[in-house]
Amino acid sequence: MAQVEQLAQFQRANIVLLYWSMDDEVYTHEFVNRWYKEKTILLPCVDGDDLRLRQYTGPECLQSGPQFGIGEPTGPEFTDLNKVEMIVVPGVAFDIHNNRMGRGRGFYDRLLKSTPNAFKVGVAFNFQLFDKIPVESFDVPMDKVVSE
C-alpha cells in the first residue's frame, strides 16, 4: 500500500475507492484509516450480485456485511461513479498485462465498467503475479498492478 500512496494518481485524487481487506488480501485497514480524513474514501458494500459504494467516515461506521462478513460502511450510497478518480482493487491473481482474476462472481468487473474515469490499480502479493492468466471478454484490466 506504500506504493499506492506514492502514485501520482493517488496523490492527485480526491475520491478513491478502496476495499476493506479480508484475511487473504493485501491489508488495507490502516491505509483506509490513515486517509479518510484527507480524501473521500469509498468502500464497496455487497448488494446481491452488485457492489454499492458508501463513504468511510471512521471505524464506527462499519458493520459486518451480510454475504462475506467484511466491514461495510453504513450511510447513504455514493452514486456519482464518474467522480471516482482511483480504484484500488484486490484480486486472486494478476498478470504482466495488468489482467486481473477475481473470485469469480464478477462484482468488480461490473463496477469497473461503470467507472470509466477512474485509474484502476490492482494490489497483490508476489505469489499472485503470473506471466499470463485466463481472460474473458467481460474482464476489465487494471491500469497498473503493484506488488511487494
pLDDT given for residue 71 in this prediction = 79
Domain ranges for the chain: 2-147
6, HSE (Cβ side, Cα atoms, 13 Å): 4
pLDDT for 69: 66
DSSP symbols for 2-52:
HHHHH-HHHHH-SEEE-----TTS---HHHHHHHTTTSEEEEEEEETTEEE
User: How many Å is the Cα radius of gyration of the chain?
Assistant: 14
pLDDT at residue 55 in the model: 96
**Beta partners for 50?**
47
Predicted pLDDT of residue 48: 80
Could you list the pLDDT tens digit for every one of the 148 residues in the chain?
Answer: 999 999 999 999 999 999 999 888 999 999 999 999 999 999 998 888 788 999 999 988 887 766 666 778 898 899 999 999 999 999 999 999 999 988 767 688 888 988 888 999 999 999 999 999 999 888 899 999 999 8
pLDDT value at residue 104: 65
What are 104's three cell numbers?
469469480
According to DSSP, residue 69 is labeled -
CATH superfamily of 2-147: NagB/RpiA/CoA transferase-like (3.40.50.10420)
User: What pLDDT is recorded for position 66?
Assistant: 63
Q: Is the pTM above the cut of 0.75?
A: yes
Residue 131 has a pLDDT of 96
